[in-house]
Every structure is written in structure tokens, then in C-alpha cells.
A and B are shown apart, each in its own frame.
Chain A
Amino acid sequence: MAESPMWEHIGTSFVHLYYHHFDADRAQLSTLYSDASRLSWEGEQLQGKAAIMGKLMNIPFHKVQRFITSQDHQPAPDNRILSMVVGKVKVNGEPLMEFHQAFVLKNMNDKWICTNDIFRVALPHFG
């Protein structure tokens, strides 16, 4: 395959930008959400830019080390893009944990915005 499809470009760039902002200047993440966006952070449901930013600015992650194991992007209905990121995080000196994050991206006014975001750290709480 000579060229990768559009959704992979956009998905990859978005993911890169997202984590860059997350680590460098988290307030910048507000440019990636809109008022129609929804976030599910560890099961907590949040809607709208304000609520989402409120959560993200206040999570107790100070020092984050992230290793992305896998990224995948698919075209979704309504001209959206579904991106999935799987990897490991090391937070605040705690042991390495698996995490996964899913983004649904939509083009609004020539910018790609995240309309849906699911984040979950895989803690072994089975049984």
C-alpha cells in the first residue's frame, strides 16, 4: 500500500497531538473538545467542554509515563473516525498499568474535534 488512508493520517495526528498537550500543557486539550463532546473517564460520564476540562485538569496525574502499544483507526459512520489507543502508563511512581482509550473524531469547521472519549485503566478487579 503506497499511501495510508485519510483516516489513519488524521487519527494518528490527533492521537499524537492529544498526548502532547496532555503531557506538556493540559489546558490546550480544550481545543480538541467541543460542547457536544462526551467523556467517559474510568466510568464517570461527563458532557461538554467545561465539564471535561474540569475533570482533566483535576485528575491526580502529575508525572505520567506512557507507552503506546497499539493504535488503530477506522472510518466511522457520519464521516467520523474511530481511533483506539492501547498501551501502558506509569503514574506517580506506581507500577505499570495497562490502559486503553477510544476517540471518536468529527470534522467541525475544518478542525478535527473529539466528540467521544473513553478512557480506562485496566485494573485487575475481576471476580
Chain B
Amino acid sequence: MEYNDDGSSSQGKKNYQSSFQRSCGEENSNYKHSGYEPLPSHVQLDDGNSAMRDAHKDLQIRHTPTTTQGNNRRVKLNNEDRIYITVSRERTFQKRKVEDRPVWKDRTTPKREMEENGQDETSSDWFKITVPCGRKYDKTWLLNSIQSHCSVPFTPVDFHYVRKHAIFFVQDTGTASALRAINYKICDEENKKIRIFVRHSIVPHSVQNKLRPEQMKQLKRTMNKRYDFSQQSLDLQSFRFDPDLVDHDIDMILNQRNCMAATLKIIEENFPEMLSLNLCSNRLYNLDGLSDIIQKALKLKILNLSNNKLNSTWELEKIKGLKLEELRLQGNPLCNNFSDHSSYVSAIRNCFPKLLCLDGQQLLQPVTVKNETPDKMKSCQESYIVSDALKNLILQFLQQYYWVYDHGDRHGLLGAYHDEACFSLTIPFNPKNPALSSLDKYSKYSRNMKKCKDPVLLVRLLKHANNDIVDFLNVLPKTQHDLNTFLVDMCSQTEKMVCFSVSGLFKEVEGVCNDRIRAFTRIFITTPVGNSGLHIMNDQLFVREASPKETQSAFSTPVSTPSSSSVYTLSQEQQEMVQAFSTQSGMNLEWSLKCLEENEWNYTRAGHVFTTFKAEGKIPEEAFKQSP
């Protein structure tokens, strides 16, 4: 199929493109560097923008093989040199922002490295596969679906996105035909057919510009110097300017697919245990190339992408498969896309739910539980049979929630609530007895009084956003809940929603109503987070006076607590220490608190004491029992 024309059939092309654009609802305002060779400003390519199309003709250009000589790095690009690149119908090359060009201008020589020994990859037929609107599909799902429908196994090369389309390359005519045949055969989740366009193409960049074996050897040596085996961390900050590489004329522009691919290959072969990778200051525009790292560095937990040129969180979605615990993004344009810090943090956490630290700041974690059987949680997602694992998860969640609620600064619950959680409190208000002074502490925070159809007035407050919620919770009277009175009803768990109700009794432990027993009902809608945590989306609380019978039965079962755990306020830091100690030691929260108290909140010392006592068998069994 002939696609290179000199503009003579531009009319036809215009129609094709505009219908193409219409069908995908393209926006053409977001220009991103596609990771291909940067072009000097005077070489303009038609980028699909109709205004531009009128101004510039499509240029037909082909690659010129240039042999590189060691000293000849500084080839300047000017009109005479005529860089030839073939352009296909899809606009793969996009205009780079002019202001970003300067530094690279002198050194942009397209190197065409030919394989001198062995098979010449550049000679066999290459095809470009385009999946229009492929951006909306998860990369792994898309490739797996295509592979499962395709009669010929294929290896996608240089997978990347251009605007809304997903593009990759395959070698060999047989593969191309097989892929052509599955156009319109695959259905996505919305039951729409996925289109697959197959076109002849030039050799993909990373293959054509593959590093020579001796360059790979040097690259490996340089990377070895930058690898810290004790920390399993690789520092590729400002990699391009590494003196070793410069001396050997290796231009590691990580934006270029071939360079990134070579780097990843060396990581895969030599540093499979890599935990931490620093890619700071490499002018990265997109992470298409980096996304291949997911299968190669399975242990990667720490990633530094600061001071690059990432424009949007869309780039991060490409590496969503990484289970990152620490990430640095400061100094990227995308950081300025958010109106405030917490929406920035939320957006990043959406991509990487297990993230513990962002830009050097520790993130608050949702109330998590020690779940011994995390796999069980997954299996009960679709079933309506409430499994024991789910029951345990909810009970442990409640235990931790009420522990913080009763013992300390309720701001410690901030991490338990989703950013956009909703909370409301209702109390009964009997018009016959308006001086319901015992619930006065609750009723005075009324925001609106609503008359409803029943002849009962409701006092209600509705709080949005986790900060408001915990601020408000902190204002409510201090409590002690009797967990033995808790009745939990679960209803529904799906992948996204775990809904349950709790009712029980609690005691007010301050002020005028000290020791007064109240009854409550609370409905939670939560969403699972990570493996074993719940994030609260909705929290509806109802509080009333307890009946005489209920009052009698409250706190009738002695809870096995050590004598020192009187109810006093713990700081947030102390709460976190207790929770961490409990997780690490296996003891329940009460006993962890006792151990830390007795060791003056010296965590390390408490740890030593615990280990010693445990070895001597001095710790009673009840210390490890979680209350029901």
C-alpha cells in the first residue's frame, strides 16, 4: 500500500483524516514527544491540525544511513543534511515545543546502526499496527486479547501511544496478515469492536538504532558503576552526561526508544533484583519506553522521576503495573496540573495504591489490618456468600477504627477516610420533649433543620471530605465503645464496595454526661484498598439514648485489658507506634500499648524487651488474642 505522496492527493487524505479524527473525537491540543528522534524546527510535519495542514505540505523523507565516526559527533543539522524519515498516514511525529529544543540541537545525529554480524533485522519487512482509540485500554489486556485472537504469535516492538491511538510494530508478513485478519474481531468491555490497522512501515526506531555489541558492553560497565549492590539501587540521574558514555560516544538519550530499550535490557540481564531506580533529570517526556520495565524489574519499589518533562498523570498510568512504595515526581510539569496538594496526592495514589511515600513525604495509610489470608479476599469478590475472611476483615477494621476513636486524637482516622467521603450524624428529636439535653452535645452542631413528612424533626449534619470529617469527629464527646455489644451486618461486597452496618452501645467519658450509655447504629460503605485495607466512602451515624435494659447490659462482660490502659489521649504518633508494634509483634493493641508505655515509648527498646520475654515464654496467650 503506497502511502508516501507529495501532497498531490492531499484532498483525499484530508477527508480520511477528518473522518478518522471525528470517529475518535480527537483533541489536538496535547502534544507529547513520541520518543522518536527530535527534529529541528524547520522540518515541520503535518500533525493533523487543519490550520497547520494548510501551511505545510507533508514532507516525504527517508532515512539516510550515516556512518558515525568517533570524532564526528557534532554533526549539525541544517538544510543540506536533509534528514529523511518516512511518514505514514498516522501522524506519528509530533511537533515538539520549541523552547525544549536548544540543549539537544548540536548532538542530534540519527545513527543508523546496522547489524554487521548475524541476521540483519533491518532488511525484513516491518509493519506498523495501529489500534485507533487504543489509549483507553490497559496495555496488557489489549496485547493479550490481540495475541489470543491472533493465529500467529508475535512480539510487539516499540509499543507507544500517539494521542488516542495505540501503536506497535511487528516483523514479518505472515504476522501482519494474521493481525489484519482480526480487525473488528475483538470486542471490548463495552461490546465495541476493536479496529486494527496494519501498514507497511520502516524499521522501528529501537531496532534500527540498536546499540552495537561493543556499545552495549560499555553501557553495561557504566551501569555497573552506577549500581549500588548493597541497596540494590541504580542511579541513572542525568545519564546522558555520564563521562564514561561521553568518552565512548554513546549518546544515551533515554527519550529515544533504542536507548531506553538497551538500558532495560541491561537491567533485565544484570540487575534483576533491582529495588530502586533513579531517572531524575533525563528529560523524559513520556513513559512508553519505560513501561517495558514492568516485566523486567519485578522487585522495583522505589522510583525517582523527578525533574523530567512528564506532562500528565496519563504517563504514570503506563507504568501502573509497578507496585511502587516510593515515588518522586517533583519538578515535572504534571505537578502543576492540580489545584491543591491533596488532589495531586490522590491522583498519584490512584495510580499506585500501595504508595507509602511521595516526593519524600510519608503518606497516611488507610486503616489496614493484619490479614493472614489475603488471597481469600479476592475469591469472595463475586460471590454473595459472605466468607470468613471478609468477616474478619470487617471486624478487624472496626476494632482498629474504634480503638483510635476511643483512645486518642480522632485525626488519626484521616487515612481511614477517602478524600471525598461523606459523613452524617442524626439524633432523634422528639417535639414533645425538646429539652433533650442529654444529647445536647450532638445537637448543637446542627447545620440545617429539616421538617420531613413524619411529625418528627431531624437534626442532621452532613460532612464531605475526610479533613472535615475528622475535624468534626474530634469535636464529638469522647467515648468508650463496648465492642462486645457490637452487632455487624454485612450486605454486599463487590470489587469496589463493601457495605455493612454496626450497632451497639458506648459510654460517654467526659463532661456532664460522663458515664451515660448511648446506643448507636452506623452504616459504612467502604472500598477495598490494596490487599487488606478499607477506605470509608460513606459513614452514617445515628445516636440515641440507651434504654434502661441496654444500659444495664453495657460493659457487663469484662474486657481483658491490662490495668494500665486507662482511657487517655494518645498523640497521633503514639497511635501509629502502637499499631506498628502490634503488627510487628503479633500482640493485640492493648498489650502493645502496655509494652510501649512500660518502655517509655522507646520503640526499639520495647521491641527488644518483647523479643526477650517472648523467647522466655513470659508473655501470656491473651496478649495475642484479638477481641471478637
A84 touches B542 (CB 8 A): yes
Q: Which residue of B lies closest to A40 (CB)?
A: B491
Question: How many angstroms between the C-alpha atoms of A8 and B278 in the bound complex?
Answer: 51
User: Which of chain A's residues have a CB closer than 8 A to the CB of B492?
Assistant: 38, 104, 115-116
> Would you call the interface of chain A mostly helix, strand, loop, or mixed?
strand
**How far, in angstroms, from A113 to B527 measured CA to CA in the complex?**
21
Query: Top 9 closest A-B pairs, CB basis?
Result: A40-B491, A69-B428, A126-B485, A47-B384, A100-B521, A126-B553, A116-B492, A74-B422, A70-B426
- Residue A76 at the B interface, CB < 8 A? yes
Binary interface encoding of chain A residues 88-99 relative to chain B, with 1 for a CB under 8 A from any of its CBs, else 0: 000000000010
- Give Cα distance in the complex from A82 to B554, angstroms: 29
Is the CB–CB distance between B527 and A40 below 8 Å?
Answer: no
Q: For A16, what are the chain B residues with a Cβ–Cβ distance below 8 Å?
A: 453
Write the residues of chain A forming the contact surface with B, with a CB cutoff of 8 angstroms: 1, 4, 8, 12, 16, 38-40, 43, 45, 47, 68-72, 74-78, 82, 84, 86, 98, 100, 102, 104, 115-118, 120, 122, 124, 126-127
> In the assembly, what is the distance between CA of A1 and CA of B448, in Å?
7
Given contacts A72-B460, A74-B424, A120-B501, contact A43 B454 (CB under 8 A): no
Instruction: List chain B positions with a Cβ less than 8 A from chain A.
Output: 384-386, 422, 424, 426-428, 448, 450, 452-454, 456, 458, 460, 462, 482, 484-485, 487, 489-492, 496-497, 499-501, 503-505, 519, 521, 523, 525, 527, 537-538, 540, 542, 544, 547, 549-550, 553-554, 556-557
Evaluate contact between B490 and A40: CB separation under 8 angstroms.
Answer: yes
Are A74 and B497 touching (Cβ within 8 A)? Answer: no
Q: Which residues from B are CB-within-8-Å of A69?
A: 428, 456, 544
A105 to B530, CA, bound (A): 26
Contacts A70-B428, A74-B424, A82-B525: A118 and B503 contacting too (C-beta < 8 A)?
no
Do B538 and A74 have beta carbons less than 8 Å apart? yes
What A residues does B544 contact at CB under 8 A? 69, 86
12 residue pairs of the A-B complex, CB under 8 angstroms, read A45-B385, A69-B544, A72-B542, A76-B525, A86-B426, A100-B542, A102-B491, A118-B523, A120-B487, A120-B503, A124-B550, A126-B550
CA distance A33 to B625 in the complex (A): 41
Q: List chain A residues, Cβ under 8 A from B489.
A: 40, 43, 118, 120
Most B CB contacts (10 A, CB to CB) among A16, A39, A70, A118 go to: A70
Instruction: Determine the chain B residues whose CB is within 8 A of the CB of A76 once the complex forms.
Output: 422, 525, 537-538
Q: Which residues of chain A are near B458, meaning CB under 8 Å?
A: 70-72
Q: A40-B489, A74-B424, A77-B496 are in contact. Are A100 and B462 (CB under 8 A)?
A: no
Contacts of A115 in B (CB 8 A): 492
Expressed in whole angstroms, the Cα–Cα distance for A68 and B448 within the complex equals 19
**Closest-CB distance, B447 to chain A (whole angstroms):** 8
With a cutoff of 8 Å between Cβ atoms, the chain A residues found around residue B456 in the complex are 68-70
Q: Which residue of A lies closest to B550 (CB)?
A: A124
A84 touches B523 (CB 8 A): yes
- What's the Cα separation between A102 and B547 when bound, in Å? 22
- What residue in chain B is nearest A117 (Cβ atoms)? B491
With A118-B489, A127-B556, A127-B557 given, is the CB distance from A104 to B503 under 8 Å?
A: no
Complex: how many Å from CA A122 to CA B504? 9
Pair A45/B384 contact, Cβ less than 8 Å: yes
Whether B384 pairs with A104 at a CB distance below 8 angstroms is no
Report the Cα distance A75→B424, complex, angstroms.
11
What is the CA–CA distance of A1 and B460 in the complex, to the nearest angstrom? 13
* Contacting residues, chain B, for A1 (C-beta < 8 A): 448
- A75 proximity list for chain B (CB < 8 A): 422
Determine which of A68, A104, A127 lies in contact with B553 in the assembled complex, contact meaning CB atoms within 8 Å. A127
Q: Please, which residue of chain A has its CB at the minimum distance from the CB of B505?
A: A126
Cα distance A126–B628 when bound, in Å? 13
Measured CB to CB, the nearest residue on chain B to A44 is B489
Q: A4-B450, A116-B491, A124-B550 are in contact. Are A104 and B385 (CB under 8 A)?
A: no
Which residues of chain A come closer than 8 Å to B504, judged between CB atoms? 126
Docked Cα-Cα span, A3 to B114, in Å, equals 73
How far apart sit A118 and B490, CA to CA, in the bound complex (Å)? Answer: 8
